[in-house]
Amino acid sequence: MLLRDLASGLNVRLIGDGDIEITAIDHDSRLAGPGSLFVAVPGFTVDGHAYLGRAVQNGAPAVAVQADREGHWQALVESGGVDLLVMPDTRVGLAKLAAAFQGHPARRLKVVGITGTDGKTSLANLVAHVFNSTGHKAGLISTAECRIAAEQLPDTGRFTTPEAPQVQQMLAAMVGAGCEWAVVEATSHGLALHRVDECEYDIAVLTNLGLDHIDFHGTPGEYTAAKGLLFAMLDESIDKGVAKTAILNADDPASEYFRSLTTARTLSYSVLGAAADLTGTAAQTEGWSTRFRLESPAGSTDVNFPKPGEFNVQNALAAAGVGLAAGLPIDQIVSALDSWPGAPGRMERIDFGQPFTVVVDFAHAAASLERVLKLLRQTSPGGRVIAVFGCIGERDKDRRPGMARAAAGLADYTFITDDNPYTEDRDGILRDIADGMRAAGKREGHDFSVVPDRREAISQALSMAVDEDAVLLAGKGHETTVHIGETEYPCDDRKVARRILGELGYDRRQ
């Protein structure tokens, strides 16, 4: 695509004739080269404008710059040899440029955006499953995995939403593969940083609203406002023949705020008896599944959902709401709900024939850890609950005492271990959690142990477990490595658990 065509219709000033063939959009100067449009984005620790020279030296024939950073790019104008796109906000511009470069793929897909504090990844996976199971080919972009139907895309193993060029590239791949729907997990980071702009949403879903990532957003209000961007974008998206719909959790008081952000129709859901369009009643846990009565505008029916817990019933109701908004028959929706295999690393049970329960979950904040521990205590009434968890380094330090309190109150024994310390002192993080356990009246060696290496902590927890116990490996979910400083070690909780269970003599084939 020629640069001048790429810039057409955008709020940019072109310096140069624009007669340059652009073959890639890059925001990392190390990736920029011949054919690249390098977009200089101000970051939290470094400013992309400081790397304009490197991008040009690497062969980038054009750069996109921010108007208020003229001191960084004026020399390029004076020296010539490179075209510039000058824009008010290069982070917003990155999404617009990426969408234009890919031919605006979201305009050729019907798109579901899912946000909330907890449950986003599971719900996104479930909604994609509903579409694919009912013959409506769907792609998925989520924290845990990115897929086109059953085919996994390479951009996996991340910790949050990919950048806009990758999002748009994946949407384009979905169009090329003949997808009808795209399901996008819209994290607060992804929304605030405009990574999921230009997705032309048709349906927006709220799971719930808690308090998280305040280190990034600054205040609870800013965190909430970031989530709200998804619903505001419903009114800006083009008409694709699907009525714009907001799916809201009637059990969460924040839903009224999100309802106020859009003129789209709403469908609400509730498991706690609130007035709602979809409700789940008479819920009963049966083994590792939940049977409940689904009441909806399309009628009443029984659902046998293959996951336990109230929060999973909420996800099932939200997914049913998406299906109804998309025009799917209720019997097909229920059949899809009943057949869901689950999302990777989310309430994922590891079964090697052992006489106790082992669950891997992404719970990495106090509320989510408490919710899963409560569920395991209910589903394992005759045994102990053993927890393995740590806390991430460098940010969200206020999670540590809350997670310690949750474990102290609901687990019989806790192994405090690595999550991702990053560059923060590993021992300091573990000490913070241990101090929280002591403050809750727990004793090291009696109620908890500190085992830094996560693999060893998992080994000790599984070796301790006996009949009817439940072991929770929390915080890492689908992730496969532990990051310490500039190094890392491999640790996929699911693989580690299977290996250790095998070493303990259990065999799922028996």
Is residue 169 within 8 A of residue 139, CB to CB? The reply is no
What's the rounded Cα separation, in Å, for the pair 186 and 287?
32
Q: Which residues contact 80 (CB under 8 A, 6 or more apart)?
A: none
DSSP state letter for 136 = -
pLDDT tens for the chain, 510 residues long, are 999 999 998 989 999 999 999 999 999 999 999 999 999 999 878 899 999 999 999 999 999 999 999 999 999 999 988 999 999 999 999 999 999 999 999 999 999 999 999 899 999 999 999 999 999 999 999 988 899 988 988 754 445 678 999 999 999 999 999 999 999 999 989 999 999 999 999 999 999 998 666 666 668 889 999 999 999 999 999 999 999 999 999 999 999 999 999 999 999 999 999 999 999 998 898 888 999 999 999 999 999 999 998 999 999 999 999 999 999 999 999 999 999 999 999 999 999 999 999 999 999 899 999 999 999 999 888 899 999 999 999 877 888 999 999 999 999 999 999 999 999 999 999 999 999 999 999 999 999 999 999 999 999 999 999 999 999 999 999 999 999 999 999 999 999 999 999 999 998 654
CATH number of 3-100, picked from 2.60.40.10, 3.50.50.60, 3.40.1390.10, 3.40.50.300? 3.40.1390.10
* Phi/psi at 12 (5° precision): -135, 160
How deeply is 510 buried, as exposed, middle or buried, from its count of CB atoms within 10 A (0-12, 13-18, 19+)?
exposed
Listed by start position, the domains of the chain span 3-100, 104-338, 348-503
Q: What string of DSSP letters covers 432-489? A: HHHHHHHHTT--BTTTEEE--SHHHHHHHHHHH--TT-EEEEES-TT--EEEETTEEE
What's the rounded Cα separation, in Å, for the pair 157 and 125?
15
Q: HSE (CB half, 13 Å, CA atoms) of 494?
A: 16
What's the rounded Cα separation, in Å, for the pair 394 and 282?
44
pTM of the predicted model, to two decimals?
0.90
The candidate with the shortest Cα–Cα distance to 208, out of 189, 193, 190, 223, is 223
CB atoms within 10 A of CB 108: 17
CATH number of 348-503, picked from 3.90.190.20, 3.10.110.10, 3.40.190.10, 3.40.50.1980? 3.90.190.20
29: left (phi over 0), alpha (psi -120 to 50) or beta: alpha
What are the CA-CA distances from residue 14 to residues 10, 36, 67, 155, 316 (Å)?
10, 16, 12, 32, 49
User: CATH code for 104-338?
Assistant: 3.40.1190.10
What's the rounded Cα separation, in Å, for the pair 168 and 174?
10
